[in-house]
Structure 1
Amino acid sequence: MNLAAGQPAALRVLIVDDEAPARSRLRDLLGDIARTCPNAVAGMAANGVEALRLLETEEADVVLADIRMPAMDGVELARHLARRMPPLPVIFVTAYDQYAVEAFELAAVDYLLKPVRAERLVAALGKLRSHQPPTDPVLASLAPNERRHFSVSERGRILLLPVADVLYLKAELKYVTARTAERDYLLDESLVQLEQEFPQRLLRVHRNCLVAREAVLGVERAGEADGEGRWEVLLRGLDGPEGRLPVSRRQWPVVKQALGR
């Protein structure tokens, strides 16, 4: 948030909602409160993917985001924005039931209930100076669905890597390498956390490697000639040695059961 002459500058607000009337209502409400809470609409987007693309060219101080949206919901958007430096705060706009609202309150995440009232919007924006954006684990606990994208920081911008494109994930030093059919990406995430987040999608084959279950073509014995016999998983979309990953002895019973061997 910028300051000028000792006074708060106009807040730059990004509105994200998949319903055009809802976006228009928030824009009008921001106009109504502009005298008491100076603000300017930085842009409007219909989902999280559009919002992240918009933020590549526009600056914002806060995001007002609906939760239920196609392509990328509000919680996943907030998780990507929490990885920015500095993190960009998100105020959720929700029509959730009371149970979900209580979860937001326990996590100290700010939210607005639809239909949004002007005085509540003023109060939420007024908290920004003292309110710290929630961490990724907190946001993950509120996620209504699995993430559809990983955040990849490259050359000062956030790339969205579709989770469905990842064939395997391998821990290397302090990073995790995500491999697709085309190339590698570096993720600043923990392999353990990824395994916990995607238990139905990812299968551990080694202490430092998770594979996408849908990418597995089968398993095959290798290394018998040199006395180092082992099982390897064969992956679609990768040729030669890249398409073969070793299965550790410890993980083989789990892999065998998961693949119905």
Structure 2
Amino acid sequence: MNVLIVDDEDLARLRLRALLQALPEFDVNVVGEAGDAAQALAQLNTHMVDAVLLDIRMPGLTPHEGLHLAARLRAMPQPPAVIFVSAHAEHALKAFELEAVDYLTKPVRTERLRNALQRVQQRLQPLSTMQAVLQEAPALVVSDRGRVLRLPLPEVLVLKAGQKYVTLRTPGHEYVLDDSLSELEQRLAALGGNHLRIHRNALVARHAIRELALREGGEPGEESGDEAGGWAVRVAPLDEWLSVSRRQLAAVRAALAGRA
């Protein structure tokens, strides 16, 4: 894994290099260091870089030069993964909008850096290797906060989109995923999964749907949140109720009747 360290502080770069050397399992090669955006771009023109450890506040045209550099990296034909390293936590939301792999706050802890590198490693995994894993058995391969997991399709009961992440529920666990709900729906279909979209923000395994009911205070076809009234399905074995949208109501009824 080729890594470029970008930070205007010599001691900060030295510490990051030491932390990387303390994680031999990733076989990290620090191809260079840079103290500002111009130096970083020069290094990127010279070396093939898999990941950039990038500070946010550096010398440049703006106080947050690292964010602007990340935006430029994102536009590259083969952009490196970006791991932000900052003494300030308030830029985390903007960092993830730029599709950063992780956001580490100084002083960086070894375990947090390990998790970030695991995410980079997952991105670098050859497509052929991932396809081979998928072909071994009908299972969904997901990344949950740095861990790569294979979940047998019958255990994938509910996928629900929130503001930033998708939560996946199995009979005994809940996982937080970075993938979009639409992407997960396509992957499940390609694997032969039998999951039904019951709402714009939720997928449910057909075999887990036990009951469709109009909850108190709701009207037929009302698109509502979980807390409000409206049509909902009970999911077993979780024994939880999830809202059903008007446009999906017929499909849910057909699934319960065994016609879909």
TM-score computed with the length of structure 1 as normaliser:
0.42
